[in-house]
Structure 1
Amino acid sequence: MKLPENQTHNSGDPNQILESLIHSIHHTQSFKGKWSLIETKLNDLKNLLPDISDFPPNPISDGLIRSLSQTLSDAFNLSVTCHTGSNNLPAGKLKTQNEVDSVTAKIDNHIRDLDVVIKSGVLHDGVVSSVPVSKRDSVRVEARSLVTRLQIGSVESRTFVLDSLIRLINEDDKHVLIAVAQGVVPVLVRLLDSGSTSDIKEKTVTAIARVSLIDSSKHVLMAEGLLLLHYLIKVLESGSGLAKEKACVTLQSLTLSKENAKVIESRGGISSLLEICQSGTPPSQAAAAAVLRNLTAFADSKHGFFEENAVSVLLTLARSGTALAQEHSIACLSNLIQGDDVINMKLLIVRKQGFSVMRTFWDSAPVRSLSVVVELLSELASDQRLVEPLISNGFLPRLLTALNCNMLGVRTHAAEAVYKIGYNSKTRKELGELGFIPPLIRMLEGKSVEEIQASAKALSVILIYMENRRVYRKNLQGVASAVCLLDPLITNLEKKYPVSILISLTHSKKCRKQMVNSGALVHLQKLVAMDVEGAKSLQEAIGGGKLFGVFRRK
């Protein structure tokens, strides 16, 4: 059938081309079923086009209209070739069928894109307003446009849009919040599916990692749940070096959740992370070690490390990685050997030259990073068989330096290590002679309950050795500081440790007098009622009770 001359596929008006196409479809002889389906889709398009034309010109809608017009024009030309029977098709039946299927898919994409644009609200941004636009509103408009464009168009256009998005959110943390409010996270997660190119995946993971660095946006990533974790694990397995690094940056936030940590382990994430620690780029090694550090904080996740030769990998990275990678690796080892069922792993660390790694890091790292290696030392010292090797490897002078530093966490872990090292008279004597008592007394007046308790525990052990008590008594604040800790109003502090310190000093009449003058009896009355270990003995020793007379006076 000959078409009217005014129904031409060369027109730029999609409505006119669409009507011409529908008219042409009625005359097709080949693939009538497929063309009938296309006609149904065209009717959906007819319903969407008015919603686009109701708004002023907009770069997004203008681009869609141009692309749609081209597709409809190509479909019109194709439909004309199908006016003959399938045996007379110029390009042959199979090729023409493929072309019809391709047109169908393109029309589906246009319908989806138009629907996205209409629902996004981005068309409203083209409406002229007399109200001045603020910087924040301008960023919001740009972010909404970018989020919309990420959902439409070709792979090439989405790659370009991702570059623009990354530039925007890297400019300011507030821009990240605005983009998140415009719904960028679910859109980015969908871009990580298996159909995306490696370039898109790399840029997408980079954008997601930037979002993960903003605390107030992390809950949006958490809400994506298993789907996001699944995609990130895939990136760990087969992504580029940069993609792996950025995936690990995101996982650092997500693996603070015990549930997510379990998912990572159950899906082989530990193996992938250890592989990155072995052969990844230096930044990706540090990021992977940070994720492993989070995972080892959960006891349920440790089983996977026992099966993956993790100790050797982590020690190697702690010896040769970047400073940050070393810190995270040592923290992993410390987490792994916490508990009573990891004796073999502690011995393995020692056999694989762990002391050498620890010394090197200790002597080269800034003070703020020492907490992890001091904590590792403390965990190793909980096995009494390792105490003498620790001492012979020169860690006591290092511990003393740690006790005198200005970092709270370092001092606290150092005091905990001292408590474990002082398990016999020989080591208590060494601790006293090296000068551990004065800094521990100073720590009794610390602002952190954790620091105070750690130092009180350490002193309660050190003062078991008689000569160390003389050193303690020489400190003018020692008795008063310990008495203050008896106050029941100081909560979350085990009173048995300051009680033990004071009991060890009751042989001295001067110390007993100091205790009374400092108000110890008032506190002890309450502690006795609370059935605190040693409180009654201390009360009787300094309060003139039946035990008072048995002590040798000085």
Structure 2
Amino acid sequence: MKESSAEPDPIRDSLHLLCTLLDSEIPTVTNFKGKWSLARVKLTLLQTHLTDFSAEFPNASTSNPLSLHLLDSISRTLHHALSLARTCQPHQLPNGKLKTQSDLDSLLATLHRHVTDCDILFRSGLLLENNNNLSTPSKREATRSASRNLITRLQIGSPESKSTAMDSLLGLLHEDDKNVTIAVAQGVVPVLVRLLDSPSEMKEKTVAAISRVSTVETAKNVLLAEGLLLLNHLLRVLDSGSAFAIEKACIALQALSLTKDNARAIGSRGGISSLLEICQAGTPGAQASAAAVLKNLAAFSEIRDNFAEENAVVVLLALASSGTASARENAVGCLSNLISEDSEGLSNLRVSVVKEGGVECLKNYWDSGVPLASLEVAVDMVRHLAACSGAIGEVLVTEGFVQRVVAVLSCEVLAVRVSAARAVHALGMNSNKARKEMGELGCVSGLIKMLDGKGVEEKEGSAMALSVLLMHPANRKVFRKDERGVVSAVHLLNPSLQGLDKKYPVSLLASLVHSKSCRKQMVAAGASVYTQKLVEMDVPGAKKLAESLGRGKIWGVFARP
């Protein structure tokens, strides 16, 4: 006898069960008619989805593993629905009212999930992709397809299958930053945020995936777009998550804490207290990441009061003294940001840093052999402390920070050079002793070279430093001996050079204008033209400099008979 070659059609079988339910069984139920009316709505939606699948993707809907799994689950549910509908037909319920009602509520929830899963699978594009049957996709297209598949699997099916899909997604994301970019473009972030409501194990994996996304610059804006929903989830992890989840949440918060609104939200929701606790008792990795988040938050003046209320200085100094290299750098960076602006409250913070041993801590950090790039936060902290008062500036001078700052003024790391120049300005503002000492250490020549630096920040930093150093006569003498100095400073007056505060080169040149040779150099380099434009722009000191240059011309006329 010849066997039938007809293959089973799960869509056709499910549609047949749906017709039986809708046309024959549900109309004859006598119990829970209201709930069965709701079931009818869900079943009708399911019928529409399955009909669409059959019409548009006759092959893909049965050959795609995801669709096969879903159709199998739908078939089992429909058989159960058929049995339950027949149970509800007699006036006397064989299983009792409560049990039957519970079974019916469970059926409604399952039908809702099936309708949602069908909609997700339909919109994912996976069935269309399978229908097109690309034989040799490019690597990028293969990654895009894998991402879509995993994102869909994260939204449908059982918790176990979702967990497996998450493991695969984590593997994909960690392979390459490009994979992260592709997955984000396919819509993984909103799906991950919804999964943060999952049980603990799945939640941990989800936080790990979000933290990985946060490390890719091009993906950060997508995370930021999730707003307070994502932020609140991560803050809850800080208080109740595992050590692993806390560390990953801190990594994600580094990206989210860069905006003022998020910083305010973190401050108002107790985030600073939680982060400081992690700095004290978290894993080494979590301590470093928590300190990095705090460093971002401390950059916003609106929430610095929260740091003072939590006694943050003591915690941060302890971490800066004993944490990992990364934790120490971030702790010093946070302290630097905390004391970075003038106000009564911030002045108290600066004094608190000094009283709690901040200068000694800073010295130890500087001398511990950290990489040059990691010294930027330390140099910035010196600058902010020096700007606090002459007394603290004198402490820094006594503790040898003049030598330390001058030593990195000519290093190869641009950011450190710029910070060092600004620190020279701060140290010299209130201390003639510091100005003299820095000049004797030879930093004037190094700063003159920086006047011709490629970046505007380097040019401005050197002009700032020199405007203070040239208050000392010996430093002016050194400056005048360098042929490049005056000309380079005049070039900074050019209004077409954008982003540079002109008051610093104006101040620098004003300290030299009484020298006849320097004045001639300034005029020859075009200072008279530039200063007239700066006068119109109301740049401080420009009018007085212009007048001094003008008087020099007049006196030059009468210099000889």
TM-score (norm 2): 0.86
2:263 alignment counterpart: 261
1:243 alignment counterpart: 245
1:66 alignment counterpart: 72
- Give the counterpart letter for 1:498 in structure 2: P
Matched, 1:534 2:544: yes
- The 2-side partners of 1:80 and 1:50 are apart by 25
- The 1-side partners of 2:440 and 2:107 are apart by 87
Change (3 A) 1:455 1:150: same
Give matches, 1:75-154, under 5 Å: 75-82=81-88, 86=92, 88-89=94-95, 92-129=96-133, 132-154=136-158
Give matches, 1:341-490, under 5 Å: 341=343, 342-363=346-367, 364-383=369-388, 384-422=390-428, 423-490=430-497
Change (3 A) 1:520 1:188: closer
Shift of 1:399: 0.7
2:505 alignment counterpart: 498
Task: Give the stretch that moved more between structures: 240-249 or 56-65.
Answer: 240-249
- The 2-side partners of 1:304 and 1:478 are apart by 46
- The 1-side partners of 2:145 and 2:215 are apart by 23
- Give the counterpart letter for 1:349 in structure 2: V
- Give the counterpart letter for 2:244 in structure 1: L
- The 1-side partners of 2:504 and 2:156 are apart by 67
1:4 alignment counterpart: none
The 8 Å contact of residues 460 and 497 in structure 1, kept in 2 or not, is answered as yes
The 8 Å contact of residues 540 and 547 in structure 1, kept in 2 or not, is answered as no
Shift of 1:191: 1.1
Superposed CA offset, 1:148-206 (max 9, x none): 2211111111111111122223223333233223222221111112xx11111121122
Unmatched 5+ stretches in structure 2? 1-10
Shift of 1:77: 4.1
Matched, 1:172 2:176: yes
- The 2-side partners of 1:223 and 1:518 are apart by 51
Task: Give the stretch that moved more between structures: 320-329 or 16-25.
Answer: 16-25
- The 1-side partners of 2:329 and 2:275 are apart by 16
1:552 alignment counterpart: none
Unmatched 5+ stretches in structure 1? 1-10, 550-554
Superposed CA offset, 1:27-48 (max 9, x none): 6565555445434433333333
- Of 316, 320, 323, the residue aligned with 1:321 is 323
Change (3 A) 1:43 1:372: same
SS in 2 for 1:152: coil
Change (3 A) 1:548 1:303: farther
Task: Give the stretch that moved more between structures: 279-288 or 372-381.
Answer: 279-288
SS in 1 for 2:263: helix
Change (3 A) 1:445 1:53: same
- Give the counterpart letter for 2:303 in structure 1: S
Shift of 1:377: 0.6
Shift of 1:286: 1.8
SS in 2 for 1:13: helix
- Give the counterpart letter for 2:387 in structure 1: S
1:8 alignment counterpart: none
- The 2-side partners of 1:421 and 1:448 are apart by 23
- The 2-side partners of 1:100 and 1:126 are apart by 36
- The 1-side partners of 2:21 and 2:495 are apart by 87
The 8 Å contact of residues 151 and 187 in structure 1, kept in 2 or not, is answered as yes
Change (3 A) 1:476 1:98: same
- The 1-side partners of 2:524 and 2:160 are apart by 81
Change (3 A) 1:143 1:375: same
SS in 2 for 1:192: helix
Change (3 A) 1:61 1:515: closer
- Give the counterpart letter for 1:464 in structure 2: M
Task: Give the stretch that moved more between structures: 166-175 or 479-488.
Answer: 479-488
- How much is the aligned-residue C-alpha RMSD, in angstroms? 3.1
The 8 Å contact of residues 451 and 463 in structure 2, kept in 1 or not, is answered as yes
Shift of 1:60: 1.0
Change (3 A) 1:542 1:411: farther
2:283 alignment counterpart: 281
- Of 170, 187, 190, the residue aligned with 2:194 is 190
Shift of 1:16: 4.3
Shift of 1:523: 4.6
The 8 Å contact of residues 496 and 534 in structure 1, kept in 2 or not, is answered as no
The 8 Å contact of residues 506 and 541 in structure 1, kept in 2 or not, is answered as no
Task: Give the stretch that moved more between structures: 15-24 or 205-214.
Answer: 15-24
Superposed CA offset, 1:420-464 (max 9, x none): 222233332222233332222222222223222222232222222
- Give the counterpart letter for 1:187 in structure 2: V
Task: Give the stretch that moved more between structures: 32-41 or 361-370.
Answer: 32-41
Aligned length: 536
The 8 Å contact of residues 244 and 284 in structure 1, kept in 2 or not, is answered as yes
The 8 Å contact of residues 205 and 247 in structure 1, kept in 2 or not, is answered as yes
The 8 Å contact of residues 471 and 511 in structure 2, kept in 1 or not, is answered as yes
